[in-house]
Amino acid sequence: MITESDLSSYEPVVRTPVHGTYHDYDVFSMSPPSSGGTHIVQILNILEGYPLRESGHNTADTIHWMAEAMKLAYADRSQYLGDTDYVDVPLAGLTSKSYAEALRKDITLERARPASEIGPGEPTAYESPETTHFSVVDKWGNAVSNTYTINFSYGSGITVEGAGFLLNNEMDDFSAKPGVPNAYGLIGGEANKVEPGKRMLSSMSPTIVKKQGKNFLVTGSPGGSRIITTTLQVLLNVIDHDMNIQTAVSAPRVHHQWLPDELRIEQGISGDTVKLLESLGHTVVTNSAMGAIQSIMVGEDGTLYGGADPRRSTSSAQGY
């Protein structure tokens, strides 16, 4: 039973978002215990070295670069990410441009690297110890990007008698055993093992992108392991492929999480592209819809453009 005095002594923990840059943009997203922001920034850093804009949206080259970068990030996730109150997460290294440059050296346009050839990398510069999403922008331009989760639908399926809320089943976001996948197929190790009081890893990626210092994109998604890559693709669709926010949200998405070693695609990627990707060695699997990303883009004159994800019937974009 929680009493009022418990609440008055409750000190909220304030965490600094993970910050990265992508071309001329500043990207702010969620820090551990979510892995989301870290890997969005890491993947953007890797992709910054490729001409995505010239290559075009969802062409075989663009998807190939994205998949190769995604695999590397998820391999690192399996080893390094966990609650920073318990483990040293090499955040500075994982999100550094020089680490991305080193990872890029092993990516070739010739072929997909099988997952068996990939493992967690060595991000330097360790920091010292120390599933529903909504995006809101108010009339002054202040922005909130919020993802919250009880893991699966209805959490653990248990309600607290008389309290009217469900208990989560977030324990599945810990790694039960090194190398054993969780419900989303994610592999983890020591950094994300269960410990008393420790918070489980997450993939939530509530993200705000600033353009020349001003809030520009507010976005985020549910979708388990696919949250990171869903959010990433909306950023790329707007920044590299000049899409309006609704097109960026609706466009077919791809996902690679290192293991299982398969490139998941939604319906709508052309058959020719799939053949080209297969010829590079990708195992392409068509999946049902991935993610449900709710996004706002702020126009130069302050106009707010909402992009609700048609993948879920509960999505909506509303003005005020």
Cα(94)–Cα(102) distance, rounded to whole angstroms? 11
10 Å Cβ neighbour count for 271?
A: 7
Binding letters toward ligand DON, positions 288-307, x by CB under 6 A? --------------------
CB 73 within 8 A of CB 253: no
The one among 31, 38, 55, 203 contacting ligand DON by CB under 6 A: 203
Amino acid type, 256: H
Q: How far is the CB of 222 from ligand DON (least distance, A)?
A: 4
143 contacts ligand DON (rule: CB under 6 A): no
Q: How far is the CB of 169 from ligand DON (least distance, A)?
A: 9
Vertex 257, ends 294 and 268: CA angle to 5°? Answer: 55
222 contacts ligand DON (rule: CB under 6 A): yes
**131 flagged as catalytic:** yes
CB 108 within 8 A of CB 141: no
The one among 55, 62, 145, 149 contacting ligand DON by CB under 6 A: 149
What is the total residue count of the chain?
320
Please say whether the dihedral angle defined by the alpha carbons of residues 61, 66, 71 and 76, taken in this order, is positive or negative.
Answer: positive
Report residue 187 as tokens: 């592999």
Q: How far is the CB of 264 from ligand DON (least distance, A)?
A: 15
DSSP-based three-state secondary structure for 134: strand
151 contacts ligand DON (rule: CB under 6 A): yes
> Which residue carries 């590079």 as its tokens?
280
Q: With contacts defined by CB under 6 A, name the span among 47-55, 85-93, 220-228, 240-248 that binds ligand DON.
A: 220-228
The one among 29, 131, 145, 237 contacting ligand DON by CB under 6 A: 131
Residues interacting with ligand DON, by CB under 6 A? 131, 149, 151, 170, 173, 202-204, 222-224, 227
For the annotated catalytic residues, the residue numbers are 131
